[in-house]
């Protein structure tokens, strides 16, 4: 039984009213996802504007992987995914060897950078998919809170059926063989990945509700904003930066777009015929070659038909109904009862 957390688990400076009069506070903006909510666009934007952000007092770690700080999530996750397997991490001993000195080195970097900056941004949607317990969230808090005066957790939430449809498109690119109906059967509140009530409760119970910026994707433009407004603008507003700052570079990329519906069946066929080995712990030379061939043929297919209608799911209402109760509690707790999807 989940509840609305009322107080942070450890002392934190409340987000909001005190922020305007305490801009000198050393702040960590921890962007945790969720997946399929424009995280790549945010990360590309941050990467394109590293120097501008530095001049505005905000830095990104040079010890975490560029753009997407997946290494951060991989360290704190108690489970293993493909990131670990590709680096030979299969148990706690190999993980300890791989991450030897991780916390000490990252802590030293943060302390050094915070002498000249007011804030840091850590961004990886794998904090959503790989951090699945309060214990893991608490370990992250135990590391960050001694370094910063405040930690602001940023998370965007998207209607589960739309999130799953987008995820299915991505899954087909990397080796998914199930049809869409079978794939959608696992989109339930019992699946941590889609249970927003549980995700929000875990992070807010540790960091405090006042330190969590929970928003719905796609974001709505503020009344005062004119012209195009997207996830990057919304993220800048959380950082307290000027959306109209002419120094910021906005580059539109299309490298993470959804797969079109006409090609999807061919991708499934290729994934069955030439497996990619996605998710397997052991990567053999044969699997490596199979993956290369699979991806090469997919590039040919995409070149032959680069555009088409988006993948859609015909029974969206049934999936929405599964989450009716938990989403209602989620919105009551974190959005003043206003159902936003």
Q: Are 327 and 299 in contact (CB under 8 A)?
A: no
The Cα diameter of the chain in Å comes to: 61
Q: Is 88 left (phi over 0), alpha (psi -120 to 50) or beta?
A: left
Mark the ranges of the chain whose per-residue pLDDT is less than 50: 7-22
Q: Are 32 and 154 in contact (CB under 8 A)?
A: yes
Radius of gyration (Cα) for the chain, nearest Å? 21
| Tokens at 72, concatenated | 């951060």
Residue 256: CB atoms within 10 A of its CB come to 15
pLDDT of residue 20: 37
Q: CB burial class (10 A; 0-12, 13-18, 19+) of residue 216?
A: middle
Q: How many whole angstroms separate alpha carbon 331 and alpha carbon 339?
A: 6
Q: Which of 298, 24, 290, 9 is nearest to 148 (CA)?
A: 24
Q: How many whole angstroms separate alpha carbon 130 and alpha carbon 18?
A: 32
Residues facing residue 231 across a β-bridge: none
Q: What is the mean pLDDT of the chain?
A: 91
Can you give the chain as a three-state secondary structure string? CCCCCCCCCCCCCCCCCCHHHCCCCCEEEEEEECCCCCHHHHHHHHHHCHHHHHHCCEEECCCCCCCCCHHHHHHHCCCCCHHHHHCCCCCHHHHHHHCCCHHHHHHHHHHHHCCCCCEEEEECCHHHHHCCCHHHHHHHHHHHCCCCCEEEEEEEECCHHHHHHHHHHHHHHHCCCCCHHHHHCCCCCCCHHHCHHHHHHHHHHHHCHHHEEEEECCCCCCCCCCCCCCHHHHHHHHHCCCCCCCCCCCCCCCCCCCCECCCHHHHHHHHHHCCCCCCCCCCCHHHHHHHHHHHHHHHHHHHHCCCCCECCCCCHHHHHHHCHHHHHHHHHHHCCCCCCC
CA distances, 195 to each of 32, 37, 151, 332 (Å): 15, 15, 23, 15
Q: How many whole angstroms separate alpha carbon 214 and alpha carbon 204?
A: 10
Q: Are 7 and 208 in contact (CB under 8 A)?
A: yes
Angle subtended at Cα 129 by Cα 134 and Cα 106, rounded to the nearest 5 degrees: 70
Give the neighbor-by-neighbor strand order of the sheet with 212-216: 58-60, 119-123, 27-33, 150-157, 212-216
In the chain the domains, ranked by start, together with CATH numbers, are 19-159+192-253+323-334 (3.40.50)
Q: How many whole angstroms separate alpha carbon 205 and alpha carbon 127?
A: 16
């Amino acid at each position: 039984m989940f509840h609305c957390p009322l107080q942070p688990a450890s002392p934190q400076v409340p987000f909001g009213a005190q922020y305007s009069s305490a801009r000198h506070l050393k702040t960590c903006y921890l962007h945790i996802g969720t997946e399929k909510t424009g995280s790549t666009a945010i990360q590309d934007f941050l990467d394109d504007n590293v120097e501008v952000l530095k001049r505005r007092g905000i830095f990104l770690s040079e010890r975490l992987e560029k753009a997407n700080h997946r290494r951060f999530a991989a360290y704190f996750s108690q489970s293993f995914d493909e990131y670990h397997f590709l680096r030979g991490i299969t148990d706690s001993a190999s993980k300890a060897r791989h991450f030897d000195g991780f916390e000490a080195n990252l802590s030293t970097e943060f302390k050094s950078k915070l002498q000249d900056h007011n804030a840091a941004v850590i961004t990886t949607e794998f904090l959503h998919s790989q951090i699945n317990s309060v214990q893991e969230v608490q370990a992250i808090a135990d590391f960050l809170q001694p370094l910063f005066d405040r930690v602001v957790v940023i998370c965007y939430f998207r209607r589960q059926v739309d999130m799953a449809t987008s995820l299915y498109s991505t899954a087909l690119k990397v080796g998914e063989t199930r049809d869409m109906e079978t794939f959608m059967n696992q989109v339930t509140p019992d699946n941590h990945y889609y249970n927003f009530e549980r995700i929000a409760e875990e992070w807010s119970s540790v960091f405090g509700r006042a330190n969590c910026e929970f928003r719905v994707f796609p974001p709505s433009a503020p009344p005062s904003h004119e012209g195009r407004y997207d996830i990057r603008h919304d993220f800048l507003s959380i950082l307290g930066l000027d959306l109209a700052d002419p120094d910021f570079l906005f580059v539109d990329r299309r490298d993470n777009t959804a797969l079109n519906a006409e090609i999807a069946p061919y991708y499934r066929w290729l994934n069955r015929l030439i497996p990619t080995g996605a998710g397997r712990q052991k990567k053999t030379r044969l699997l490596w070659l199979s993956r290369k061939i699979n991806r090469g043929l997919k590039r040919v297919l995409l070149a032959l038909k680069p555009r088409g209608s988006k993948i859609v799911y015909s029974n969206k209402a049934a999936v929405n109904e599964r989450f009716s109760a938990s989403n209602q509690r989620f919105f009551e707790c974190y959005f003043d009862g206003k159902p936003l999807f």
